[in-house]
Structure 1
Amino acid sequence: MKKGLLFILLAAGSVCLSAQEKEGKTYTVETNRFGANWFISGGVGGQVYFGDNDSKADFGKRIAPAVDVAVGKWFTPSIGLRVAYNGLQAKGATPNANDVFVKGGTYSNGYHKQKWNLANFHGDVLFNLSNMFCGYKEDRVYSLIPYVGAGLLHSWSDPHFDELGVNAGLINRFRISSALDLNVELRGVLMKDAFGGKSKEGMAGATVGLTYKFKKRGWKGISTVPMVPESQLDAMRDRMNSLKNENDALKRDLVDARNKKPEVVVQKEVVGVAPRLVVVFNIGKSSVSKREYLNIESVAKAIKASDKTYTVCGYADKGTGSAAYNLKLSKKRAEAVRDVLVKEFGVSASQLKVDYKGGVSNMFYNDASLSRVAIVEE
């Protein structure tokens, strides 16, 4: 008996382990009202009686038809109660032709055949180990449900006997739909001095059947909240207090900023300082394009507002043309910018000097085209 119970618990543990890997979450549930989670089940199969002399007959010849009918209710996803009927017929063997229930001749070893109609009325406590150890999951395909109970066994055949019995079994439940399950039930019952015997007797059976679950069925699941260590809670409280203090400080700063009188900022204009001017030329050209005039004009104003002398220096792209050509081209570019400053925008020629460097490597941003320039600076 202990080995059987250990096997059931180990089986439940293995089922739960694989189920947890697939489900990922466990659930607690809200208890339903009394009218919810009722069910009715029925099944057919076979059963074997174990009496004083039954071992004298072949096991296969002692199998009798069996019928199961039960009505019950689940009070939680793990605990339920049911009242059930098991029975129909039982077969046995006896050496005495005058024993009870002798019917149908003898076996090959001379023992007389026994057969009688039998009913087992009992109440059981059901334990859904899958829900108990794995957490409730409404669409779980397989559930392992052992049960224990007690009841009354009655023989319908003459002479009538009534015996008390202890029942135990295992229901393998397979979900078909929200309302219907397929059940494979293994059961046993133990009796004392039953049906004419002189020692403890019992009966084992196996049936296959269906269970219909009445509405309201199922349970409302609630995700379980994991426990948080106290040290982690203290750290969270400290962080919350720190954030609260920072928030209070920001509120005070905001109030101060609102009450503070606006400051008048006087920006002094710097006169007489001209920014550096870079005029870009097309390849091989020394003529100033009109698009450069806007920049030249602003620099010209600053030069005229000062008494300083500025240098206009010309450059060419070293990678294009000979050194002599680039030197000549860079000079022309410097002179062209000087002429625009003087002739177009009225800068005094005495404030301008001309210089030229010939061909140079990339001056700006590693771009050869930006070496084709003339630069005006102090």
Structure 2
Amino acid sequence: GVWMKRIKVIIQFILIISILLIALNRTDAKEIMESSLRLRILETTDLHAHMLGFDYKKNKPNLEFGLARTASLIKQAREEEINSLLFDVGDVLVGSALDEYVYKTNYLDDHYFHPVFKAMNGLYYDAATVGNHEFNHGLDFLHKSLRGAKFPYVNANIYIDDQNQYDGDDLNYFNPFLILDRNFIDTNGNKQKLKVGVIGILTPIAAEWDKKYFQGKLKIKNIQETAEHLVPIMKKMGTDIIIALAHVGLDPDKGLKEKKGNSVIDLSEVEGIDAILYGHTHLIFPGKDLYSVNDETGTINGVPAVQAGYWGNHLGIIDLEIIKMNGKWFVNSSHSIVKPVFKTINGKTIPLVEEDDQIVRVMEPIHLEIQRFIQNSK
């Protein structure tokens, strides 16, 4: 009888503990998971002033590139998700007949807006960073061009060369980063205020390639070291998530004296970065099996990443699921994809979207001017 009583007491005790643990877990879960939301991050990169799908050399339309087509993908992507941000990752000004026309005719002496930004402004970019080709025509041309952008530019690792040997007093040439205050809608339909940090990065090879404009004026510092210095500062300033806009390839550029720390792989090792949008090498990611890289989820060392080809032939998309626990937001899961503007069937180019009317309209006058300019140059 005594043993039976003892067993009953033990069983009751176990039951009480179990009930308490279940109750505790439930309140814990309520306390921890305060909110969740989905955020779609969109990327264009290496547009090289290809605003329209038009081959000026052959003087005929081309269905395989142009921001006018990417714009249709951007608008679709925004319709699918309630929360989205749009960024450009550089090399937007130089590399097409439009660029040649603007540069050779001194177009910017008479016009406030570079035609590239006439097209881009209508898409409401949230921010952008510079690519190496932005420096090809010199600093004066760069500044005259950028004044037309109705969205902010950031870069953290280009510094004014003050000619002294001490690094600690160096001043950034651009705003190194910015913090976007954004209202997003969570999965319960409630408004949530988030601080989104955006940092810009450029491959140091740009200082070599455009030496005549950089020498004695600007210098480009190590990518990883710059991010390791600034990301904790951004965190201290209350950022909830941090997005890096990186005009650099997965691997460091050939010809760089200092390769270590100057690639997307190195950048992905910096703690606190939640997503990397990159460009420069005109490749596509996710899309190839590479080391440190998960092609299925589109992550590099666990960090969500995307690279959207070139000339607007793809739109980069990272979907983040962000959850709030104990008052702090963090990325719970992610999915990266690149969406093409065309596909090829039996050697024939099939467009997957039409060109966006708004951009075609805005570009129409300049498009005709470029064609006249090319005719007169022959």
Higher helix share: 2
What band does the TM-score fall into relative to the shorter chain?
under 0.3
TM-score between both structures, scaled by the size of structure 1: 0.19
Higher relative contact order (CA 8 A, sep 6+): 2
TM-score between both structures, scaled by the size of structure 2: 0.19
Higher strand share: 1
